[in-house]
Structure 1
């Protein structure tokens, strides 16, 4: 596995089938907040994302929100609104420490876990370093922090030949 290669690349979180992930042996989902679950220019997740999380919980998945957002209160509020009991703010991805901590907290092995995020150079890289499968989703909006916009330029080049499931 290459460092920056996700296991899958999909257009949005609601396109993922929780039953399929469960059948693959996955038991925990680590989900990024900004531009994965909650658009960067909004304070709440769209209804289809909420419904998807309900479906994932219904299949028995343990959930943890893993965010580089340093505003702990924002991450805590989003996690609570989405019914996600466990969260880690200021995760310092691409370092894999927060992902390993989340697996330990949820009582699952990395091989039984998948990380879902919108950034190649933080989410995918950290998952690969932690030995966790990764699913890359397109960002929900083009609004990003200035330094994320810089990474997006390189991300687009790296992803140009990778097909995205619509």
Structure 2
């Protein structure tokens, strides 16, 4: 007489119940001796198991058998399972999205490189213009210094007077 009944099947074997274990990712599966033998239980494929009916074992997950215990009181086998691998479902949509995002990243990296090249070129132009401005500033300072020296020496007035006299003489001759 069955204590648990035939609620669902795992790998074609009738299973009484499945309980969550005390550790994370651990499950306890109970097979009654009248529905399954130890040899049949040991022969089950657990990565992933074939589930028929409603069961709390996550569909598509793979498991490893940690222990198989026999309870004489309930005449049942208790299989202790640990999650071995998780099935994440159909990821083809995500793979296409990842490919698209990788393409976007590559495109943006190219844009960034182009912008960095343009910035480097403009920085070079700015450096050249700064050097030109510095050179022109030095020339202006030198010319201002020369003018100040000429004015201080009084030569500027002499030069102006000579130029003015030469101009008047040229106008009077040419008439």
TM range (shorter): under 0.3
Q: Which has the higher helix share?
A: 2
Q: Which has the higher strand share?
A: 2
**Higher RCO, 1 vs 2 (CA within 8 Å, ≥6 residues apart):** 1
Return the TM-score normalized by structure 2: 0.20
Return the TM-score normalized by structure 1: 0.21
Structure of larger gyration radius: 2
